[in-house]
């Protein structure tokens, strides 16, 4: 019995030959290499999918909130036509933020007149120089969600009484509107149930007159106008959208907003990955509110901004957060195909916005 057991266990002690071991090792390595290959390509596909989803989500969010904001550009209450709005701020054209005569306005990135001292732009050295330079647009409107009914107005003492307690600190730019007129002014008082519209520069930039009527005459009394109880006071909104580089080096969509309590602005980073923005404006030339041609901002006259611009087409170029691709990826933007010198993946998104306060 014991000898049989001994014979049976013999092969177990024989082991592998060196050749067998080497073959096994080589096979193992090949197998492992295959597994690593599959793992890496799965990981790459996963990263690509994840970043594409990130780009999609950012694009949807960017165009969504810009379109919503832009739709109400030029809304100054019941009387929104530029010809019925008296902007009594002192020297309102000196800065985009106080220029409430412009509900929607744009700056073409490729125009010599682009205000590069006011709006920063990202440096994207890995993109061809022929790519259009990023554009900027500004929006002015009244904040309907932040409004108070007028309960009385004494134009001589420059006091408007409102229903309830408002939260507008002294210096806040406000809009008062009934269905005939609107006026943009800075409140010069601290009262919680009244606002003051005195002339002077106790707040910056101040009001050039206390008269809220049209035409605006920059004198002590100017052109008087009395707002009645059908009027509302609303906070004035000023937004500028532009592209700059975020603190982590990624290009991003930024928004600069008018603050309360003065004419200062605060810049906020809105969405990362937005590398370039092109805005073209639809102009209606026959009064049917349907655009007949699209133009760049620098080709549009002041009069056309006020009367003819009825739509805007926003096109965004977004890129991945990391250089996902193995080599430079061509992309087509504004009708031209470009080859970058980096390995980011890019996508283009576009939307057209109809301005509600223009046309019929």
Q: Which of 282, 156, 284 is nearest to 221 (CA)?
A: 156
CB < 8 Å & 24+ apart, contacts of 149-154: 149/229, 149/231, 149/232, 149/233, 150/176, 150/227, 150/228, 150/229, 150/230, 150/231, 150/232, 150/233, 151/229, 152/229, 153/226, 153/227, 153/228, 153/231
The one-character DSSP state at 38 is H
| Phi and psi angles of residue 349, each rounded to the nearest 5 degrees, phi first | -130, 145
- Distance separating alpha carbons of residues 70 and 358, to the nearest angstrom: 12
When binding is defined by CB under 5 A, the residue of 64, 154, 290, 293 that contacts Ca ion is 290
Task: Give, in order, the Cα–Cα distances in Å from 321 to each of 26, 43, 60, 271.
Answer: 39, 16, 16, 12
In this chain, which of 90, 108, 244, 275 binds Ca ion, going by CB under 5 A? 108
Distance of closest approach, residue 307 Cβ to Ca ion, in angstroms: 12
Give the residue carrying structure tokens 């101040």. 206
Of 90, 135, 244, 256, the one binding Ca ion (CB under 5 A) is: 135
CB nearer to Ca ion: give 194 or 358.
358
Q: How far is CA 231 from CA 29, 147, 228, in A?
A: 81, 10, 6
Q: Which stretch binds Ca ion (CB under 5 A): 35-43, 106-114, 149-157, 326-334?
A: 106-114
Q: Does 112 bind Ca ion (CB under 5 A)?
A: no
Query: Site size for Ca ion, by CB under 5 A?
Result: 10
Please say whether the beta carbons of 229 and 150 come within 8 A.
yes
Nearer to Ca ion by C-beta: 51 or 135?
135
- Which of 84, 278 has the CB closer to Ca ion? 278
Nearer to Ca ion, 19 or 360 (CB): 360
In the complex, what is the shortest distance from the CB of residue 318 to Ca ion, in angstroms, rounded to a whole number? 17
One residue of 284, 311, 319, 346 binding Ca ion per CB under 5 A: 284
Peptide bond preceding 43 in cis form (omega within 30 of 0) = no
Pick the closer one to Ca ion by CB: 100 or 242.
Answer: 242
144 or 290: whose CB is closer to Ca ion? 290
Interface pick for Ca ion out of 91, 93, 230, 288 (rule CB under 5 A): 288
Q: Name the residue nearer to Ca ion (CB basis): 224 or 287.
A: 287
* Region near Ca ion per CB under 5 A, out of 21-29, 50-58, 196-204, 273-281: 273-281
CB of 292 to Ca ion, least distance (A): 4
Output the smallest distance, CB 108 to Ca ion, in A.
4
Q: Cβ contacts of residue 123 below 8 Å, gap of 6+?
A: 245
Site stretch for Ca ion (CB under 5 A), options 23-31, 174-182, 274-282, 314-322 = 274-282
Residues that bind Ca ion (CB under 5 A): 108-109, 132, 135, 278, 284, 286, 288, 290, 292
């Amino acid at each position: 019995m014991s000898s049989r057991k001994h014979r049976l266990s013999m092969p177990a002690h024989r082991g592998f030959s060196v050749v067998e071991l080497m073959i096994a090792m080589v096979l193992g390595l090949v197998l492992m290499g295959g597994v690593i290959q599959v793992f890496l390509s799965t990981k790459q596909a996963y990263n690509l999918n994840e970043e594409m989803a990130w780009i999609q989500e950012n694009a949807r969010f960017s165009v969504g909130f810009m379109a919503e904001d832009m739709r109400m550009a030029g809304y100054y209450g019941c009387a929104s036509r530029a010809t019925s709005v008296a902007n009594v701020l002192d020297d309102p054209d000196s800065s985009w933020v106080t220029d409430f005569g412009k509900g929607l306005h744009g700056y073409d990135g490729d125009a010599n007149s682009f205000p590069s001292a006011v709006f920063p732009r990202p440096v994207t050295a890995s993109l061809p120089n022929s790519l259009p330079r990023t554009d900027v647009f500004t929006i002015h409107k009244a904040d309907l969600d932040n409004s108070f009914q007028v309960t009385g107005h004494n134009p001589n003492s420059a006091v408007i009484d409102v229903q309830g307690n408002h939260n507008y600190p002294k210096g806040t730019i406000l809009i008062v509107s009934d269905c005939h007129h609107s006026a943009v002014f800075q409140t010069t008082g601290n009262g919680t149930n009244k606002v003051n519209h005195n002339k002077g520069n106790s707040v910056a930039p101040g009001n050039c007159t206390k008269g809220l009527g049209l035409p605006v005459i920059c004198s002590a009394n100017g052109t008087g106008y009395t707002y009645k109880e059908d009027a509302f006071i609303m906070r004035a909104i000023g937004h500028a959208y532009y592209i700059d580089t975020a603190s982590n080096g990624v290009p991003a969509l930024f928004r600069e907003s008018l603050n309360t309590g003065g004419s200062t602005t605060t810049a906020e980073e809105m969405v990362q990955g937005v590398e370039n923005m092109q805005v073209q404006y639809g102009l209606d030339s026959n009064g049917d509110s349907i655009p007949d041609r699209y133009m760049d901002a620098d080709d549009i006259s002041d009069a056309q901004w006020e009367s003819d611009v009825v739509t805007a087409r926003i096109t965004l170029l977004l890129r991945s957060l990391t250089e996902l691709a193995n080599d430079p990826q061509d992309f087509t933007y504004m009708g031209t195909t470009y080859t970058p010198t980096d390995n980011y993946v890019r996508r283009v998104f576009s939307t057209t916005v109809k301005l509600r306060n223009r046309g019929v």
